[in-house]
Structure 1
Amino acid sequence: MDSIITPNWPVPSNIKAFVSTRIGGVSQQPYDSFNMGAHVGDVSQDVTSNRLLLKTLACYPGEIQWLNQTHSTSVLELPSSKQDRNADACYTDQANTVCAVLTADCLPVLFCDPNTLQVAAAHAGWRGLCDGVLEETLKVFSNPQDVVVWFGPAIGPDAFEVGPEVRSAFMAVDPAAEQAFKRSGHDGKWLGDLYTIARQRLSSQGCCNIYGGDFCTFSDVERFYSYRRDGVTGRMASLIWQE
């Protein structure tokens, strides 16, 4: 198995994108072994070593400006002079500037306009997805209908069990979200499909060139971290940039 995944999507050859897995790093349990998150309790030296290995494998330029992700809808332009970088999405129209997000069940979404070469990355947990982080990210592009999107590894539709309040929150924004939920085997609980909801949200804004979305972090124990499955665990990184 590989330490990184390369998206299969129709973007120009000078657009580079990768997602790290949990395979191949130096972190010890429960972060074993390719953890990219410096905020989860892992040994900082191990995270630094993992990030250096990621740079070697992905050959990305410069240094990544990591976001302080808070399940918000804030979108930050990169490169940024801000010290805190509180945001859950980032974008750039500059070459050799990496957009990156960290996830472990939440949905990582990569964006590219093949005409302008502008790129973006978003972290969509259920709260951010419900509140509109993908729509806010799409707003930074001039022509949403031209944007190509790739969905990375997230918790799948057979594992994301939620209470009725989560379903109701999504349906309050868009009644069509009802299609993304089915009853689970537990009383009052529902199984939610983050990928379907994300497609609905983007399609409603005219963005229909969507790829990926065939992962489940919860069930794929060997490849992916899952916060819901393990609690204390590592993070995968999703990267995109223009060469």
Structure 2
Amino acid sequence: MADLIEARALAGLPHGFSDQDGLTAANRPLPGPLVTVRQVHSPDVATITGPWDDGAAPPAADALVTEVPGLLLGIVTADCAPVLLADREAGVVGAAHAGWRGAAGGVIGNTVAAMIALGARAERIAAAIGPCIAQASYEVGADMHDAFPSGAERFFAPGSAGHWQFDLAGFVAWRLAESGVGIVEVAERDTYAEEGTFRSYRRATHRGEPTGGRQISVIGIA
């Protein structure tokens, strides 16, 4: 079992991005409850005050924020960008699942806004973008290209006829900067290319393999 991948920007906070082996007692950065949501590629954010009641279904959302110590926020990905955020001074943390739909739809700005509502300040927030599919591995068609807002063209490099190579991590970093986030760190790890280390939905699809495997990314307040 590998240790969680940590970000320099979040040093000293309980956090990490897993490899394909996931989260276990051996690499868990906090012993408290792990809180997740039902991810649906939306721009929606859940503000967490405690673990869900026993038997209760988690709400549909693609980001979580909290100011409650002892909770571990978690999101799962397998090519989408996991984003962990923290304002140490305010004691507020967040975790976001940024697939292209959520990223284009505003999940990053909404996560920052939800943290601000709990007392964070954007310029004090440090954010880390974890392992995700890299531009060289991410060919997309016109339907996706045309779904992005004005200003995003710089993140699409020419590909094969009628296609582009999309820089998901770069777009997410831009969204964080546009939201006023003070520090942004990018892991620069390619889930598609790093076979044997990360699960990749796209790689599995291309090979006709099962697509259920995921990484988990977590953050909390000690």
Shift of 1:3: 4.6
Residue aligning to 1:60 = 30
Residue aligning to 2:80 = 106
Instruction: Check the 8 A contact 2:94/2:115 in 1, yes or no.
Output: no
Superposed counterparts of 1:69-84, under 5 Å:
69-78=39-48, 79-81=50-52, 83-84=57-58
* Residue among 124, 138, 157 paired with 1:146: 124
Alignment pair present for 1:176 and 2:151: yes
Gaps of 5+ in 1: 23-33, 37-50
* Residue among 164, 168, 186 paired with 2:142: 164
Shift of 1:123: 0.3
Shift of 1:70: 0.5
Shift of 1:2: 2.5
What is the letter of the counterpart of residue 69 of structure 1?
Answer: Q
> Post-superposition, which runs of at least 4 consecutive aligned residues in structure 1 deviate over 6 A?
none
**SS of the counterpart of 2:169?**
helix
Residue aligning to 2:199 = 225
**SS of the counterpart of 1:100?**
strand
Q: For 2:182 and 2:93, how far apart are their aligned partners in 1?
A: 16
Q: For 2:216 and 2:87, how far apart are their aligned partners in 1?
A: 21
Note closer, same or farther for the CA distance 1:83–1:148 as it changes in structure 2 (3 Å cut): same
Instruction: Check the 8 A contact 1:8/1:212 in 2, yes or no.
Output: no
**SS of the counterpart of 2:97?**
strand
**SS of the counterpart of 2:203?**
helix
TM-score by length of structure 1 reads 0.81
What is the letter of the counterpart of residue 39 of structure 2?
Answer: Q
Residue aligning to 1:20 = 18
Shift of 1:138: 0.5
CA RMSD in angstroms, aligned pairs only:
1.7
Shift of 1:212: 2.2
Shift of 1:89: 0.5
Aligned residue pairs: how many? Answer: 209
Note closer, same or farther for the CA distance 1:166–1:208 as it changes in structure 2 (3 Å cut): farther
Instruction: Check the 8 A contact 2:66/2:115 in 1, yes or no.
Output: no
For residues 187-233 of structure 1, the C-alpha deviation after alignment (integer angstroms, 9 at most, x for no partner) is: 10100001111121121121141012311100000210000001323
**SS of the counterpart of 1:141?**
helix
Instruction: Check the 8 A contact 2:145/2:164 in 1, yes or no.
Output: yes
Note closer, same or farther for the CA distance 1:205–1:66 as it changes in structure 2 (3 Å cut): closer
Percent of paired sites with the same residue: 30
Q: For 2:144 and 2:4, how far apart are their aligned partners in 1?
A: 32
What is the letter of the counterpart of residue 21 of structure 1?
Answer: D
Note closer, same or farther for the CA distance 1:62–1:80 as it changes in structure 2 (3 Å cut): closer
Alignment pair present for 1:5 and 2:5: yes
For residues 136-187 of structure 1, the C-alpha deviation after alignment (integer angstroms, 9 at most, x for no partner) is: 10101231111100000100010111002212211xx2x2211101111x21
**SS of the counterpart of 1:240?**
strand
Shift of 1:10: 4.7
Note closer, same or farther for the CA distance 1:210–1:91 as it changes in structure 2 (3 Å cut): same
Shift of 1:73: 1.2
Alignment pair present for 1:236 and 2:178: no
Instruction: Check the 8 A contact 1:182/1:192 in 2, yes or no.
Output: yes
What is the letter of the counterpart of residue 238 of structure 1?
Answer: S
What is the letter of the counterpart of residue 141 of structure 1?
Answer: M
Q: For 1:176 and 1:147, how far apart are their aligned partners in 2?
A: 23
TM-score by length of structure 2 reads 0.88
